[in-house]
Structure 1
């Protein structure tokens, strides 16, 4: 008897190994299992699993050993693994397929075996909900197999008649079936775990490739999607991904094609392939598995399959990325994820580039708007001064008008946000000369700036509004000589500009308000304007500070980065 059990055990384990090897070969060649393992299976994949594991259960019967009008079998492997992998529906139906097949083979254990196989699949499916597949250990899989087979032996004893024959059968087949089915389930789970691990490693590699591509192409895509940036990005993608060819399009034409097929897939041509047009229209990734689905009108084209992913800016499709292969049906799940990853990263880069351009244009517009406030403000005050001389001293008024026209001739030509400090002092001197005509000997303006700092870059009209504010609000109501001192120094790569007056000062309660936009009836536009422009250019960590003592004077300190001449010469803002 022991020799019979040992022989039976050996034969079942040998046949179980055949199932395991066949399963491993199928798993390696099929992407469906990776989708199921990651719980991304669609209905089509679920149907495949039901059929696959149902047939595996049937195979487990045929690979069994006919003994005592019954079968010592490995049928439970397919049903249990189907349930663990695909859930209750897959497990139940796969088990039912294997069970019905066994039922129609007949024999006094037919019903018990059919029921136990169906229940085995259902139990595996129930465990699916409580234990993710990757969390099922090999020991757990083995114990589950033992439990399932013990259940089957119990059902055979309870439901099969005559009882004596059922008992004798169970006494012989119990140990071989428990061990072979448990080992089979464990081995199958191990194969799937290894496949999952390999898939994760491949996905990690593809993610690394996608990030590497994005990192290398970021410099080219800053200017948006054009012929030049698309070509450079295509070269990078081809080099890193190892596909046969890469194409990047906008909505109407090919921007770049690099790799196989460059003789007829050329930049500037209208989009030829039907699959690409469909992606641009629907905005979803598509896989073309053969030349017919690819839709290239050139008969001799060696590109035979492709994965095509949309490029988007916000939610708008602006183009497509195509990864081609030279063999039909060669696009794998890994290729799809790589294309998806690259397209999403490139889309993000293009979106960021678009936002940066919008922000840059917005900032430039705001700077121009702020700067444009200075001109009419200065003009209004200068004209008031000149008007006062028109009746009392027309010649002085004439000279002042000449100076004013000279001032605007220079300033209206100035298109740069940043200019040399020397030039800024020149513009400020025009205003001072006009004000000196009004104040006469009661106004004195001193410049104390080292020569080496005259080439530093400063925002245009950064000094004139503050000097104007000092004269108009600090000195105009002062009795006696009014002085304004303009100083500059370099401190730890920071250019510090100071405008100091000996005027009437600012009351403490107003000191923190005068640099806020819209404060007061004139001084607000000068000080707040300068502050806003500085922060638009350099950031909020820069700006101006103001300190004052009544009847002693006011000090305005400006701190900006120390930049020597260079940007203005290059025409940069």
Structure 2
């Protein structure tokens, strides 16, 4: 009898596991299973589904001595371990009350009904414990076996006569405990497989998000505008396979690529209520049907969407939207992809703004530097030329030409790169005027290798040269010697500006680099900051009081800079 009962239960278990397998492959079941947070409606739905699985287990059972040997506990235990107390109790009530009221197996009806409800409660409260374990199916097996044991104890406590209850328990305990535990473990394995598939899909989506972010990085550096958004939306649409992609700011559609572009037009006001909600609440929104999207156009084919906000320092500046044409088609992996893209794009836009502000600051400092250099130099140069007009007209004419070239190159638009040779010609014009001014007090040595090809920012050497003259050499009565050497070594160009003036202490050097020395620090600090941001190099300053100063500037051969990082906005 025991062997025959076990065989019958095992055969029926195969049908239940097959039904569970088919259920696990259903997109409808996967959609609800993978939701981040279950609403009350979802909990009621899952309680009904697993309660029905318990009812099927009852009807699929084997009649034994006015009782039913069955696999009802599978649905109830899985409901509790999957959905927690609410769904476990809900499924237990549905399957348990059903067991109490059906005519078959009246001998154990009340006991089995009570134990079924109790099983849902126990499994529900064990959810958190089991979730933390690596082998959930094994713990499902153990908990299901324990619940079946409790059911047998309830039968012994409630069902009468006791002798009949004891005989029944002795007959059904082992087969029912094993079959229900095994079925529960199998069901949990199927659910785990769904989660693992989703995690793999999420990893693929994460990789896709990074790839998209890499491709859109140089585009979104130009900010959130119609042109950049259109290009970025096309990249996302091609890479993800969604039916439409859109960008908005807080008021209008900046770009819409794909289905619906006949009425979701660039420049028009935001058309969907879900987008406005994402902007107002600063959080992502999901619509799984056309009604939830609330597009004003009745012929719109878009039926599912996720909208993620784009933030800059916690201030919303727009949204990214992914659309599909099938209802209930936004999956958890789609949500993670959209959230990931939104976060990456927000970071890109914030970094572009930081870079833009840094560019503005550098340009402002450079203009301040020009304003500092030009007036006093111009006055001194003109005084020098006036004095030569009376004594040496040809020399005055030559100095005027040098001054003209110097001023023409000084007033050039900042931000452009020029050949290093042109920068040296600018320095030569400056030094020729200063030599005429200081006469025998200033000796200049200019040693530049002929084949150096290097692009540099304008006015990169002028502040160092002027600082060497003004604060190094001319601070002494006798003046001194200024040497400028330029040479290349492998892929690097070195420019050394050396004087034998008063020199500096280490404390003075640090004060200048940090900008604490307002008299002489602005020029050197500006040059140092520009070198760091453009080339990743810094000034090398070697100096000792009374022994002069040597400043080395390092450039890559050919001016190999990061074009993307320094493109104009």
Partner residue in 1 for 2:543: 547
CA shift in 2, pair 1:536/1:372, >3 Å: farther
Alignment of structure 1 residues 491-506 onto 2, 5 Å? 491-503=489-501, 505-506=502-503
Alignment of structure 1 residues 448-527 onto 2, 5 Å? 448-453=447-452, 456-476=454-474, 482-503=480-501, 505-506=502-503, 512=509, 515-516=512-513, 522-524=519-521, 527=524
* Candidates 47, 63, 72, aligned match of 1:66: 63
Partner residue in 2 for 1:336: 335
- Quote the Cα distance in structure 2 between the aligned partners of 1:255 and 1:180: 60
Q: 2:539·2:551 contact (CA, 8 Å) conserved in 1? A: no
Partner residue in 2 for 1:200: 199
Deviates most, 300-309 or 522-531: 522-531
Q: 1:49·1:82 contact (CA, 8 Å) conserved in 2? A: yes
Deviation of the 1:517 alpha carbon:
5.6
Partner residue in 2 for 1:288: 287
CA shift in 2, pair 1:535/1:372, >3 Å: farther
**Deviations along 1:548-571, whole A, 9 cap, x unmatched?**
573x65444333333469999xx9
- Quote the Cα distance in structure 1 between the aligned partners of 2:388 and 2:511: 31
Alpha-carbon RMSD across the aligned residues, in angstroms, is 4.0
Q: 1:482·1:502 contact (CA, 8 Å) conserved in 2? A: yes
- Quote the Cα distance in structure 1 between the aligned partners of 2:510 and 2:195: 65
Partner residue in 1 for 2:221: 222
Partner residue in 2 for 1:27: 24
Are 2:37 and 1:55 aligned?
no
Alignment of structure 1 residues 130-145 onto 2, 5 Å? 130-132=129-131, 135-145=134-144
- Quote the Cα distance in structure 2 between the aligned partners of 1:271 and 1:526: 49
Q: 1:370·1:533 contact (CA, 8 Å) conserved in 2? A: no
Q: Could you state the TM-score of these two structures normalised by the residue count of structure 1?
A: 0.83
CA shift in 2, pair 1:393/1:144, >3 Å: same
Deviation of the 1:132 alpha carbon:
1.2
What residue ranges of structure 2 are gaps of 5+ in the alignment? none
CA shift in 2, pair 1:524/1:298, >3 Å: closer
Partner residue in 1 for 2:411: 412
**Deviations along 1:405-461, whole A, 9 cap, x unmatched?**
7744552345356544444444444444444444434433232223334x6444444
- Quote the Cα distance in structure 1 between the aligned partners of 2:90 and 2:403: 93
CA shift in 2, pair 1:242/1:374, >3 Å: same
Q: 1:224·1:353 contact (CA, 8 Å) conserved in 2? A: yes
Deviation of the 1:121 alpha carbon:
2.1
What residue ranges of structure 1 are gaps of 5+ in the alignment? none
**Deviations along 1:298-331, whole A, 9 cap, x unmatched?**
3333333333333333333333333322233333
Q: 1:84·1:133 contact (CA, 8 Å) conserved in 2? A: no
Q: How many residues align?
A: 564
Q: Could you state the TM-score of these two structures normalised by the residue count of structure 2?
A: 0.83
CA shift in 2, pair 1:298/1:362, >3 Å: same
- Quote the Cα distance in structure 2 between the aligned partners of 1:170 and 1:518: 89
**Deviations along 1:449-503, whole A, 9 cap, x unmatched?**
23334x6444444444444444445554767684333322222333322334455
Are 2:75 and 1:78 aligned?
yes
- Quote the Cα distance in structure 1 between the aligned partners of 2:305 and 2:81: 33
- Quote the Cα distance in structure 2 between the aligned partners of 1:519 and 1:32: 67
Deviation of the 1:130 alpha carbon:
1.9
Q: 2:236·2:245 contact (CA, 8 Å) conserved in 1? A: yes
